[in-house]
Structure 1
Amino acid sequence: MKNIRKIVLGNKINSKVFSLGREAYIVGGYLRDILIGKKSRDLDYVVRGDIRQFAGLVYAALGLTPGKGTTVELKKEQMIRIVLKNGITLDFTELKDSIRDNLSGRDFTMNAIAWSPETGLIDPFNGIKDIAKHRIKAISIDNFKNDPLRLLRAYRFVSELGWKAEPETRKMVRHLRKEIRKSAPERITLEFFKLLNFKNFYNALKTASDDGLLECFLSIPRKRLFENIRTIPSLELCIKKLPLNFKRNIEKPFSQELTLHGLLRLEQVLYSSALNKNRLRLSRIIFERLKMVHELLSKSEKQDIFSQENLFNTFFKAKDSAFDLLILSGNVKLLSQLERFKKIWKRSLLASEEIMEITGLKGGVKLGKLIYGLKKMQFEGKLKTKKEAEKWLKSISP
């Protein structure tokens, strides 16, 4: 067992919190992360007495100013949060009964652990043992009923930690799976996006699908959902083959805390679903991207939109979704063509002003069509020099 005391009090923030003389415990994920050797940026404390006052004392003890830290009151969660400039968060909730009672209301045994300098580790549900066995175990079915989002959170932890949900916990999920619909769409979305971002997401998705949970908030037939998940390893193989510069970019945040990598997974999972009927609250940029990618993927099943003849039109219509489209369709080899398209679209053989001077057009639809046509011919290799472009324009101008 690691020297928990040394690690906890070796943290400047924890040291200040516990020096204030109040009955306080650090709880949950922070301790779990210590036990598995992972750094945590979230510190959760339960404190006896007025948490607003206590958070103020901590704020002062840490020497914080408005530029270095912000205090937020989360009324629904009955919590005070301090957000530091470096992204570390400190959450304070009030300890109303005993610490054991507090821990008994938590989601999983691995998160129902507390520590204070006076008591040392408090582990009433054998969470440490479950951590050692890489086991995600619910404390009780009532805790799932009290907050049905925890049903989905079980699989998010499967994705994040690479562990397994133990059989009795999965049995609870299967029994209560429809209760997830009682959770706010915003909360479901955030939890599902976290699941998609992590490395072990495939096992998490497959297990959640097998247990019937996904279909309770995703508007997609079970058979189609199963097929979409089944083909995910092929998607990941395509991503694995990407050049290094693309790999770096897809791990960057895209929207709603979802990475571009996570978005590609979402696009695969939701293919052929009724986007407006899912119990997900999607940002406009994610919704429009899903809609465009799915439309073009569906079209590709009926005609060859990736032929040299149609490729320019496909890239033009897809716009920012073109990258996703190539990955999801398995056309990684066309990424160089996409990069070429972007360069030509940004700067072609002739600028708009030059086209207007040659043609005498001042603007409008006709000019737009000429610009489009010129770029398309350049992309297809039919126009290679500025002189060729000028000659072509003059030949079609009245």
Structure 2
Amino acid sequence: MQQFPFDFNDLPTPTYLVGGWVRDRLLNRQGKYLDLDFVLPENAVETAQEVARKYKAGFVVLDAERKIARVVFKNGTADFAQQMGISLEEDLGRRDFCMNAIAMECHQLIEDQSIGDGLAGEDFIDPFDGIGDLKAKRIRMVAPENLAEDPLRILRGYRQSAQLGFEIEDLTRKVLMKLASRLKSVAAERVRTELGYLLSINNGSRWMMEAISDGILEDWLPSQHLNLPRFAEIERVISSLLSQFPNLELFFSKHLSGDRYAIVIVKLAALTNSATALESLGLSRAEQRWLVGILRYLPQFINLLDQATPKEQYKFFQSTLEFFPAIATLALASGYELERISPWLERWLNPNDAIAYPITLITGDDLRKDLGIPPSPQIGEFLESVKIAQVEGKISSRAEAITFVQSIIKY
């Protein structure tokens, strides 16, 4: 019971735990961040408010009409919802998939620790045989109208397949495909978040391909703009890169926006040939900058693979340093050999590399003080010329840099 941020004895009887936490507990899965969902026959918002007050936690009403409130703790959230319908079974009957329509009275956790012993079902309220679906590793809808009511559940079915390693039951999949056009009515923020979850999962690309093949995402990711052969290779390439260059983990796990990380944008860039094709998702400025940059500089990088001078390498790194590994990853996924790309990655990974990270020999202040050059755009041009001479091996010290600038002025 220490894993919970508050004592369940503070809750009225009955209070039911439902949804993902119950499902994951039955599967002996547990995340770092608690996501608890409670259903109460009455006084759900008031109960949440009292818990928040007693434990000095955050409190917000999510839906005043449906009487849903959230309590925010350091290690997770607890949502309290008023029961919909005249019974708990009716409430469960409005959920998306049978495996998520399992409940248990939360006080039972205090008395009975058998919940952690596998797929025993005697302690659970399971009117749709969700436990049977968990045993069969199957995702099965409760009812088509539930999916139509909130079309994001259509995409969520594919994400949960990737997350759990389950297969979507045939009839359910046909319904998901039939209802796919309704997904266009969902807010971009919700679709973007769900896609972020899906692409963050190790085998998420497989189920992303399944969703695309089933026509689920046609309104959000038009097929004419997609590069499916490249996308099909992206997870294998990332895994291979991480095995050979473990330090790239820091790059792929870089936080970009909200709860999305660099690996999501790398996969989206692999998926599409045009950044404009993803505009409907409403990506953040940072994500859009990465996406545009990756796709813009990928052809240039491929052209440089055959032969690139130090000057060309330096200039390319200066334009792409922030997201260069993403470009290398897409080049690999496009079929280019690692032997040609790894020298570039080794440069990027080496903070002392003379071409990717040339040290600063002189500054604009040096040029003003030592050579009397007045402030102007010309100073920037001189400094860039110094950098190029430096990476070409022509100069390597401050004195040589000053002399080099003097020679340019005389010339």
State whether TM-score is above 0.5.
Answer: yes
- In structure 2, the partner of 1:50 is 43
> Are 2:309 and 1:316 aligned?
no
- In structure 2, the partner of 1:290 is 291
Offset of residue 75 of structure 1: 2.3
Offset of residue 252 of structure 1: 4.0
- In structure 1, the partner of 2:63 is 75
- In structure 2, the partner of 1:255 is 257
Distance 1:134 1:252 in 2: 32
Distance 1:368 1:310 in 2: 18
- In structure 1, the partner of 2:22 is 31
Offset of residue 242 of structure 1: 4.7
Offset of residue 322 of structure 1: 2.5
Q: Residues 304 and 310 of structure 1 are in contact (CA less than 8 Å); yes or no, is this contact kept in structure 2?
A: no
- In structure 1, the partner of 2:402 is 390
Q: 1:246 to 1:319 in 2, by over 3 A?
A: closer
Code of the residue aligned with 2:91 in structure 1: it is: N
Distance 2:307 2:189 in 1: 36
- In structure 2, the partner of 1:194 is 197
SS at match of 1:362: coil
Code of the residue aligned with 1:39 in structure 2: it is: Q
Q: Over aligned residues, Cα RMSD in angstroms?
A: 2.5
Distance 2:2 2:74 in 1: 20
Q: Give unmatched runs, 5+ long, in structure 1.
A: 1-8
Q: Residues 45 and 93 of structure 1 are in contact (CA less than 8 Å); yes or no, is this contact kept in structure 2?
A: yes
1:239-250 mapped onto 2 (5 Å cutoff): 239-250=241-252
SS at match of 1:271: coil
Q: Which runs of 4+ in 1 moved over 6 A?
A: none
**Residues 239-275 of structure 1, C-alpha deviations (whole Å, 9 max, x = no match):** 3345222214422432121122222112211233534
**Residues 343-398 of structure 1, C-alpha deviations (whole Å, 9 max, x = no match):** 32xx4122332233344223221111111121222223332233332221121123
> Are 2:151 and 1:163 aligned?
no
- In structure 2, the partner of 1:90 is 78
Distance 1:114 1:286 in 2: 39
2:365 to 346, 353, 356: 353
Q: Give unmatched runs, 5+ long, in structure 2.
A: 109-121, 333-340
Q: Residues 50 and 94 of structure 1 are in contact (CA less than 8 Å); yes or no, is this contact kept in structure 2?
A: yes
- In structure 2, the partner of 1:334 is 344
Q: 1:140 to 1:377 in 2, by over 3 A?
A: farther
1:185 to 184, 188, 200: 188
Q: Residues 218 and 278 of structure 1 are in contact (CA less than 8 Å); yes or no, is this contact kept in structure 2?
A: no
Distance 2:372 2:67 in 1: 68
Q: Residues 358 and 393 of structure 1 are in contact (CA less than 8 Å); yes or no, is this contact kept in structure 2?
A: no
Q: 1:381 to 1:157 in 2, by over 3 A?
A: farther
SS at match of 2:396: coil
Distance 1:332 1:26 in 2: 50
Offset of residue 220 of structure 1: 4.3
Q: 1:85 to 1:336 in 2, by over 3 A?
A: same
SS at match of 1:285: helix
Distance 2:407 2:188 in 1: 58
1:214 to 213, 217, 222: 217
| TM-score when normalising by structure 1 | 0.87
Code of the residue aligned with 1:250 in structure 2: it is: F
Offset of residue 199 of structure 1: 1.1
> Are 2:100 and 1:111 aligned?
yes
Distance 1:190 1:132 in 2: 28
Q: 1:286 to 1:305 in 2, by over 3 A?
A: farther
> Are 2:112 and 1:123 aligned?
no
| Identical counterparts, % of pairs | 26
Distance 1:169 1:74 in 2: 29
Tell which deviates more after alignment, 306-315 or 154-163.
Answer: 306-315
Q: 1:158 to 1:206 in 2, by over 3 A?
A: same
Q: 1:352 to 1:327 in 2, by over 3 A?
A: farther
Distance 1:351 1:113 in 2: 66
**Residues 197-237 of structure 1, C-alpha deviations (whole Å, 9 max, x = no match):** 11111221121122111322114417x34233233245324
Distance 1:360 1:70 in 2: 60
